[in-house]
Structure 1
Amino acid sequence: MFKILRERIRQGHRTYPYPVQAPVLPERFRGRPRIDPKRCPPGCRGCEDLCPYGALQVRDGQPRIDLGLCLFCGECAAACPAGAVTFTRDHRLAVRHREDLLSGADEPRLAQALDARMKKLFGRSLKLRQVSAGGCNACEADLNVLSTLVFDLGRFGIQFVASPRHADGILVTGPVTENMKSALLDTYAAVPEPKLVIASGACAIGGGPFRGSPEVHNGIGDLLPVDLYIPGCPPHPWTALDGLLRLLGRLTQKS
């Protein structure tokens, strides 16, 4: 017992002081992409041709990245001879509307809070049932990390629960395989009204690398009404936590 207490004192306080202090992410982390159209060579479409998932498109000489399809592989940035496409370490990616995932030269549109009624219901206590709809377990693993003492999701009143009947909404990962479609819809139906739906990861938003396969439904957008999109492959735990707190009105647009 004394050894345990001594070791706990040695380790000290391990929970990160977020959101008072912004998280520090490693150099290799790929966050929000930054595009400088002024540096794009005329007629160049090399980055668009290289993107294996159609996330990057050039329209009227202006490149745009669909963060809902992007796997953050970084190939577009590596292929651009002028350095017009770069990846920052900005972890803030979550949005409320699918169209807001289109990233270009303009200012990013971050997730806005729920309306007053919904925020009153869920702002201080939010219970979520996580549904893995055919995911590779990467998104699920990073969501599990949120419950560790470093992130301590529970201190914000947010918890994952075992039953949809105890939940305020569902958080979905995976491209929704045909075998998981009915289970997903049954889980959604079991959550009492009013309820929230969160799509976490490129697969849940647009199908990810499985997009177009006859065995998947390219995410949940055509199956359920989505209240929050958290892009990434997988989304970093800070990205997911940032999106959840913005949804609940705990963070301002500029923070």
Structure 2
Amino acid sequence: MYEEGVRRVVGAADRIAEYRAELANFADVLAGRGWGSEVSGVLDDTATRLATVEASYREVADAMQQQGDAGAAAHEQAPWVPDEVGGAAGLGVGVAPVELAPGVELTGESIADVAAAVAAAHSCVEPSCDVCAAWRGGYVLVAADLLTTYDEAPVVAQVRAKYARAGRDPLNAKDLDEDRKAWRIYSAQIRWRCRGCNGAIYADGWTPLACDCGSQELDEPGHGGPR
């Protein structure tokens, strides 16, 4: 169920933590050899950024766990499970969820299942990725919609289609529109614009020094000039 999605997110956070520790050790080695802050400072900044991303992943995992626990409790009290989701009309409580892919199941909790599908299908940590930024920020519907728009995650579309056939489309127009409006406000507060490539960097809680293209000419969120 959702526990597998939580484990995947926590696992990603653990891998980031391991890499951050390796960077710290490398920085210590360089410092011991007499390298100055011009080198170690870059490593320190990278470690800080990774710590922020790691914390975001752990926050998402906690939220998924809490939502999943709440959904599981509600599911246990539900008198029935809809068609396509539980498998047949009037399917009783206690029947095992339907697995679509490793770590992705239909449990009857549409939003939690979509979140697990996004986590399973897209686990990059690139600061330029709008999907990651939306997912980390808690805008699961936006992240799922972006993935299906980019046609990168068939399993997300499959989860949505199963619920839609049962009359419970998690990305219905009303809820998705509300999530998009909130995401536009939030993303404007964390999106830096690169003057070199006109790309975006989503910095939720940290300050970027340069774009992936190499340019250091970055416009701060809500401002027209470079930092």
State TM-score, norm by structure 1. Answer: 0.28
With CA pairs under 8 Å and 6+ residues apart, which has the higher RCO, 1 or 2?
A: 1
Q: Normalising by structure 2, what TM-score?
A: 0.31
Greater share of strand:
1
User: In proportion to residue count, which structure has more helix?
Assistant: 2
